[in-house]
Amino acid sequence: MNALATALRRSLWLLLIGAVGGAAWSYWRDRTTPAAPGPAEGPPREPETSATPDPTPAPESVSDATPETAPDTEVRGFASISDPDIEPDDAPGDAAAADAASEPSTGAAWVEPDDDGACPISHPIKANDNSGIYHVPEGRFYERTKAERCYVDSDAAEDDGYRRSKS
């Protein structure tokens, strides 16, 4: 019976040492291995629009215009304050504001690529959300890059938080 108790005791010690060693190895492995990457965190995407609205609102009447927004010439269909031919009663109202709002603007800074990841000629810069990198047409990997956004120029891509590829 003495040999059986000794064998049982040794087995329990080996089991305890193995459990502690396994727990220590698991803890060390989790602390030294970087966490698996989650979903790609990129710059916020803006909805695609055919025209970007002008951020500065048009003055409703001549009396609302300031010298910064109303030089001596017309601004978006509004007469300037210094125009002697127009009285405040003759100032354009909501009809002129509606005409100014319907004027086309310069276009969006970025557009969605084609289904195959190709960018249109007007927006040649290819940007990738996963890597946060943009590629220029002269770049080494431009042809093989499948774009997720297409930009007008490098400055627009950098303004959205992308960095230029190294090659």
Domain count, the chain: 2
Confidence of residue 167 (pLDDT cuts 50, 70, 90): confident
- The average confidence (pLDDT) of the chain is 73
pLDDT the model gives residue 165? 92
The CB density around residue 160, as the number of other CB atoms within 10 Å, is 19
pLDDT the model gives residue 132? 92
Q: Please tell me which residue, 14 or 61, carries the higher pLDDT value.
A: 14
Whether residue 18 lies inside any domain: the answer is no
pLDDT tens readout for residues 34-61: 655 555 566 666 666 655 555 666 556 5
Whether residue 75 lies inside any domain: the answer is yes
pLDDT the model gives residue 15? 93
Whether residue 158 lies inside any domain: the answer is yes
> In which order are the strands placed within the sheet that holds 149-151?
110-111, 149-151, 125-128, 133-135, 163-164
- DSSP assigned state of 78: B
Instruction: Please indicate, yes or no, whether residues 138 and 157 belong to a single structural domain of this protein.
Output: yes
Domain extent, residue 74, equals 62-101
Whether residue 81 lies inside any domain: the answer is yes
Q: Which residue's entry shows tokens 């995407």?
A: 45
CA distances (Å), origin 1, targets 11, 61, 70, 82: 16, 107, 106, 115
pLDDT the model gives residue 152? 92
Domain boundary among 49, 72, 101: 101
pLDDT the model gives residue 9? 92
Lowest mean pLDDT among 102-106, 116-120, 139-143: 102-106
Whether residue 34 lies inside any domain: the answer is no
Instruction: Please indicate, yes or no, whether residues 151 and 129 belong to a single structural domain of this protein.
Output: yes
110 strand-pairing partners? 151
Predicted model pTM: 0.38
Whether residue 153 lies inside any domain: the answer is yes
Q: In this structure, what token pair is assigned to residue 58?
A: 């048009």
Whether residue 30 lies inside any domain: the answer is no
- The CA-to-CA distance between both ends of the chain, in Å, stands at 76
Whether residue 82 lies inside any domain: the answer is yes
